[in-house]
Amino acid sequence: MTKRRQLRRFDLKHIEGVGNLIGVDEAGRGALAGPVVAGAVLVTREFLDGRWAQTRASRVNDSKLLSPAEREELWAEFEELAAEGQIHAQYGVAEVDEIEFHNILGATKLAMRRAIERIYPPGAFERKTEPDLFSSAEEVQNFQPTVSATILVDGLALRHFPYPHHAVVGGDARSLCIAMASIVAKVTRDRLMTELDARFPGYGFAQHKGYGTEEHREAVLRLGRSTQHRELFLRKLLAGRTDPLQEDFLGDTLE
């Protein structure tokens, strides 16, 4: 069995006893410019046992390991599957001003929440509306949704996230629905960055998608900061810090 085929096996194991799995992943967390985008994909046991999952899912992988053409091809197939009711595939976006206000971690959780809520409305989970996030780990642990779904999130557990979830480190290379969500997030964000390239010419957003390439850094020094650049990230970059995310995710675990 190839590693890619193990993605489906992972989901089959984790869907036991629940009606659905929702895989969640993000794209753009480490970029210097543009929004952060989350993808969410709901799969059922019927889908995992079905023909597409058995014959086509082996092509799914962590979006970073696929070519743009492969991602676009899979995205088109996801749209067909969604139109047929076999899966639900959605995305959520947190814009640059929200990244500035909430910090990148808070904005990532916001994008993830929005993606999930496009699959299930907030009332289905009976989550708190004010504030949007739980105030303690105990509230998360005691929370009981009214829908039968397990949420699998790529990476470390998220503190004060409005939905109970299972964190899967390296999940986009382990779980089929998380890998599918990573493709939804990546394709959606790449398209948004291409649109921004037309609005903010000269930075090369369509090529580097807002990440800190040498060309991008040189463009910022030449043209200055656009409204799509993350001010805090640029300050860290220009101060010589090689990893703008170095401090933002410290302690991001569920205690």
Domain ranges of the chain: 5-199
One-letter amino acid at 225 equals R
CATH number corresponding to 5-199 = 3.30.420.10
Would you write out the chain's pLDDT as a tens digit for each of its 255 residues?
445 568 999 999 999 988 899 999 999 999 999 999 999 999 999 999 999 999 999 999 999 999 999 999 999 999 999 999 999 999 999 999 999 999 999 999 999 999 999 998 765 554 444 344 444 555 555 545 456 789 999 999 998 888 889 999 999 999 999 999 999 999 999 999 999 999 999 999 999 999 999 999 999 989 999 999 999 878 876 666 444 443 333 223 222
Structure-token pair, residue 226? 């656009």
Residues forming beta bridges with residue 24, ordered by sequence position: 40, 153
Give the whole-angstrom CA distance, residue 164 versus residue 150. 8
Asked whether 32 and 210 are in contact (CB, 8 A), the reply is: yes
Q: pTM of the predicted model, to two decimals?
A: 0.84
Asked whether 62 and 172 are in contact (CB, 8 A), the reply is: yes
Give the whole-angstrom CA distance, residue 37 versus residue 93. 5
Q: Give the total residue count for the chain.
A: 255
